[in-house]
Homo-oligomer: A and B are copies of this chain.
Amino acid sequence: MNIIKNTRKKCPLIHCITNYVTVNDVANIVLACGASPIMADEIKEVSDMQTICNALVINIGTLNERTVESMIEAGKTANKLGHPVVLDPVGAGATPYRSEVVKRLLDEVSFDVIKGNISEIKAIVFNSNKTKGVDASSLDLVTMDNLDETIEFTKKLSKITGSIIAITGPIDVICDDNKAYYCLNGTKNMGKITGTGCMAAGVTASYLVSNLDNKLEAVAMSIAAVGLAGEISEKKALGTGSLHIGLIDAISNLTDEELSKGLQLYER
């Protein structure tokens, strides 16, 4: 497994249109995992900026009317150029406006990866024209008991959307339309720092674009890596402030060998 090695070697440029809450953490974790971040959201330059980058992350955490247009413009350019695009639909479903934006994004941009928690993924299903008729009403927090149903559902969603789907939570599920992983890495306290999900999306894009022969594994490893980094950080952390900083430390030090050893990622 050379997923991290490949990322550090390729050092891809990751264009992130993301929220202003965790943008610093996303930039730092993208650097820590071996890539380079560019944050730019002015519509007059997002297309040009995407052209010199290798991948795009769209995170709607603090979306506004101005930046939504930039997201769509950058997304279309990335699609045209064949650059991987990762969607982090933060808070999808929380407000009608957010649902409407998610719908537009799904209509106008093709995503290589959609990564969200179970509520956000459900909102994706309810708000996409493509997923009409798909029943997500029984989807719930992933447990070992409902894992097989969730995987079946997620594979179907992946087939319909054409995206790798990553559902994050205590048990993460990462699927394309014919292969599925679940991941047990991570700790409960990671939910007590903001931005672990946003950071994961940055790592996802970095690993993915550096390992295009191995897309699903790259995405699964990115989710596992951030979870493992949280576990490593938690051993030394004195509270949630140092847990946050230690997580970035851990990603910056992580090698493929250590990731292999710490992985709790299983095919199913």
Measured CB to CB, the residues of A under 8 A from B are: 19-25, 27-28, 31-32, 37-42, 44-45, 48-49, 52, 61-66, 91, 94-98, 191-195, 236-242, 244-253
Alpha-carbon distance between A245 and B242 when the two chains are bound, in angstroms: 6
Provide a sorted-by-A list of 26 A–B residue pairs whose CB atoms are within 8 angstroms: A19-B39, A20-B20, A20-B39, A21-B27, A21-B39, A28-B240, A32-B239, A38-B94, A39-B62, A40-B95, A42-B63, A42-B64, A42-B65, A42-B97, A44-B97, A48-B95, A49-B95, A238-B249, A239-B248, A239-B249, A240-B252, A241-B244, A241-B247, A241-B248, A241-B252, A244-B245
- Determine the chain B residues whose CB is within 8 A of the CB of A19 once the complex forms: 39
Alpha-carbon distance between A142 and B195 when the two chains are bound, in angstroms: 37
Pick the contact of A62: B32, B41, B240 (CB < 8 A).
B41
Alpha-carbon distance between A249 and B98 when the two chains are bound, in angstroms: 33
Task: Determine if A249 and B253 form an interchain contact, defined as CB atoms under 8 angstroms apart.
Answer: no
Tell me the nearest residue of chain B to A192, going by C-beta: B31
Task: Determine if A240 and B244 form an interchain contact, defined as CB atoms under 8 angstroms apart.
Answer: no
Residue of A32, A237, A251 contacting most chain B CB atoms (<10 Å): A32
- Determine the chain B residues whose CB is within 8 A of the CB of A253 once the complex forms: 238-239
Task: Determine if A246 and B252 form an interchain contact, defined as CB atoms under 8 angstroms apart.
Answer: no
Task: Determine if B193 and A240 form an interchain contact, defined as CB atoms under 8 angstroms apart.
Answer: no
Task: Determine if B40 and A62 form an interchain contact, defined as CB atoms under 8 angstroms apart.
Answer: yes
A228 to chain B, nearest CB (A): 14
Interface on chain A toward B: helix, strand, loop, or mixed SS?
A: helix
Using A32-B240, A48-B96 as known contacts, say yes or no to A27 and B194 having CB atoms under 8 A apart: yes
A190 to chain B, nearest CB (A): 11
Task: Determine if B252 and A248 form an interchain contact, defined as CB atoms under 8 angstroms apart.
Answer: no
Q: A28-B194, A241-B244 are in contact. List 6 more A-B contacts (CB 8 A).
A: A22-B27, A28-B240, A238-B249, A241-B248, A241-B249, A244-B248
Task: Determine if A248 and B238 form an interchain contact, defined as CB atoms under 8 angstroms apart.
Answer: no
- Determine the chain B residues whose CB is within 8 A of the CB of A248 once the complex forms: 239-241, 244
Alpha-carbon distance between A248 and B250 when the two chains are bound, in angstroms: 19
Using A64-B66, A97-B42, A97-B48 as known contacts, say yes or no to A242 and B249 having CB atoms under 8 A apart: yes
- Determine the chain B residues whose CB is within 8 A of the CB of A241 once the complex forms: 28, 32, 244-249, 252
Q: Which 7 A-B pairs have the closest CB atoms?
A: A239-B249, A241-B248, A48-B95, A45-B97, A27-B194, A240-B252, A45-B95
Alpha-carbon distance between A241 and B244 when the two chains are bound, in angstroms: 8
Using A94-B52, A194-B24 as known contacts, say yes or no to A239 and B244 having CB atoms under 8 A apart: no
- Determine the chain B residues whose CB is within 8 A of the CB of A250 once the complex forms: 239
